[in-house]
Amino acid sequence: MSEKYIHKKTLKDKLNSPGMLNILYVPVLILFGTFLIYPFFKGIQVSFTNWDGYSQIFKYVGFQNYKQMFADSDIVTVIYNTIVYGVGSTLFQNIFGLAFALLLCRQTKLNAVGRTFVYLPAIISPLIMGYIWYFIFQYDGGALNDIIKLFSGSQTNLLASTKANVWIITGINSFQFVGVSMVIYLAGLQNIPHDYYEAAEIDGASYWQRFLNITVPMLAPSITVAVVLNLIGGLKLFDVIWSLTNGGPGYSSCSLSTMMYQLYFAKQEAGLAASLGILMFVIITIVSVIALAGFRKREISQ
């Protein structure tokens, strides 16, 4: 009878082992395998062809697309743009996201209204926000120019400047999506017990000391999440650019995403677009994995 008991125990133990839990992500793995990984490898295959995106026939051309890609001056501009979009957005959205979360974390009605309005642009579909931005930035009859005309008498065409438009778009993107970081920080702030703050106050710590020694370390996981998400989102930026400038004039405000789209559909160069997609994937993966690993380390050391 004791033998049976031992048997049951070991089977139950196996089922209860941490390793067995891994079964829980198998459905997700299958989904990704079918819907992402397989098509993604097909995409890699396309990057070695001269496919136009719609014919049933194509030719294999080896590394020609990759060679063409690196020789193209427009692409260098676009890579630079993409990094500005990614790093710039992340910087703005995290600094302001945290600031707004701290400002708006109490349960007053005013705070609730504030939280709603800051998140509002992130809720509205990018398609619609594009129209709103157009109403604001339009040269003739746009809201911004109405104000500028009042003060200086002349109008401005902000998005036409090929040097400034990337930064303006980064700014608009940050304004629009800072609410997402704010929400992540709000949820994170929630997990910090009030006792810690009370204890620190009793000890005579100032606001800044409390912030640096309690809030920031306890928010480490939130910071990781917010930074990595903003980085990936910013590097992948598409909708905001598309609705404001279509990537133009020329390719001056294109990100890797929008350029890939234009290469595929407008220029009918599916092979080149695919190789750009691989480049984009590699760049974003390297940047985000470094960020993720780096911030996770900080998390653990806290």
Partner 1 sequence: MRDRNGKLNKILIIVLIIFYAVPFYILTTTSLKKDMDVSSKWKMPSYLYLNSFTNAWSKANLGHAFLNNIIILVISMTALIILGSLAAYPLARNKSRLNKFMYYLFVSAMIVPPLSILVPLYQFYSRIHAMNTFWGITLIHLTFQLPLTIFLYTGFIGTIPRELDEAALIDGCSRFGLFFKILFPLLKPVTATITIVTGVNIWNDYQFSLFFLQKSQVQTITVTLSRFFGEHANYVSWVAAGSLLGSIPMIIIYLFLQKYFISGLSSGAVKG
Partner 2 sequence: MKKGIRLITALTAALMVTSSSLMGCSSSKSSSSSTSSPVTLSMYSNITDVAFQNTIKEIASNFEKENTGIKLDITFPGSEYENILKVKMASNEMPDIFDTHGWAQLRYGNYLMDLKDSSWVSKLDSTIKPVVTDSKGKVYCLPLNEAKDGIIYNKTLLNKYGIAVPKTVDELVAAAEKISKASNGQIKPFFLSGVDNWMVGQLVDVMATPMLISAKTNSADALLNKSFDWSKWNTMGDFLLKLKNEGLVNEDVLTAKSTDLPKRFAEGKTVFCATMLSVADDVKAIDSSVELGVMPAPAFDSTDTPSFSGGERQTLGVWKDTKYKEQCLKVLDYFAKQENQEKIATVGKYPSALTGISVASTFQKDFDSNKDTRVFAYFDRVYLPNGMWDVICKNGVKLLAGQIKSSDYSSVMKSEFTRLSTK
Task: Report the nearest approach of partner 2 to the CB of residue 97 (Å).
Answer: 29
Is residue 30 part of the contact set for partner 2 (CB under 8 A)? no
Binding mask 140-159 for partner 1 (x = CB under 8 A): -xxx--xx------------
Binding mask 201-240 for partner 1 (x = CB under 8 A): --------------------xx-xx--xx--x---x--x-
Q: How far is CA 73 from CA 162, 245, 246, 251, 252, in A?
A: 15, 20, 19, 10, 11
What number of residues does the chain have? 302
Longest dimension (CA), the chain: 96
Nearest partner of 264 among 41, 46, 40, judged by Cα: 46
Is residue 54 part of the contact set for partner 2 (CB under 8 A)? yes
Pair 258, 241: CB distance under 8 Å: yes
| Ramachandran category for residue 141: left, alpha or beta (phi over 0 → left; psi -120 to 50 → alpha) | left
Q: How far apart are CA 29 and CA 32, in angstroms?
A: 5
Q: How far apart are CA 171 and CA 241, in angstroms?
A: 11
Q: How far apart are CA 59 and CA 42, in angstroms?
A: 15
- Whose structure tokens read 């390719």? 251
Q: Which residues pair with 60 in a beta bridge?
A: 49
Task: Report the nearest approach of partner 1 to the CB of residue 297 (Å).
Answer: 13
Coil vs helix vs strand at 77 = helix
Task: Report the nearest approach of partner 1 to the CB of residue 89 (Å).
Answer: 15
Is residue 53 part of the contact set for partner 2 (CB under 8 A)? yes
> Which of the residues 13 through 32 are near partner 1 (CB under 8 A)?
15-22, 24-25, 27-29, 31-32
Q: Which does 125 bind (CB under 5 to 8 A by kind): partner 2, partner 1, none?
A: partner 1
Identify which of residues 147 and 216 has a Cβ nearer to partner 1 in the complex: 147
Is residue 109 part of the contact set for partner 1 (CB under 8 A)? no
Q: Which does 67 bind (CB under 5 to 8 A by kind): partner 1, partner 2, none?
A: none
Task: Report the nearest approach of partner 1 to the CB of residue 3 (Å).
Answer: 23
Task: Report the nearest approach of partner 1 to the CB of residue 163 (Å).
Answer: 25
Task: Report the nearest approach of partner 2 to the CB of residue 69 (Å).
Answer: 14
Q: How far apart are CA 249 and CA 227, in angstroms?
A: 30
Nearest partner of 260 among 24, 46, 29, judged by Cα: 46
Is residue 95 part of the contact set for partner 1 (CB under 8 A)? no
Stretch that binds partner 1, among 33-41, 63-71, 77-85, 160-168 (CB under 8 A): 33-41
Q: How far apart are CA 148 and CA 183, in angstroms?
A: 33
- Whose structure tokens read 């619609």? 128
Q: Which does 121 bind (CB under 5 to 8 A by kind): partner 2, partner 1, none?
A: partner 1
Binding mask 130-159 for partner 2 (x = CB under 8 A): ----x--xxxx--------------x-x-x
How many residues make contact with partner 2 (CB under 8 A)? Answer: 29
Q: Which does 160 bind (CB under 5 to 8 A by kind): partner 2, partner 1, none?
A: partner 2
Cβ neighbour number for residue 121 with a 10 Å cutoff: 18
Query: Which residues lie near partner 2 (CB under 8 A)?
Result: 50, 52-56, 134, 137-140, 155, 157, 159-160, 162, 245-246, 248-252, 262, 265-269
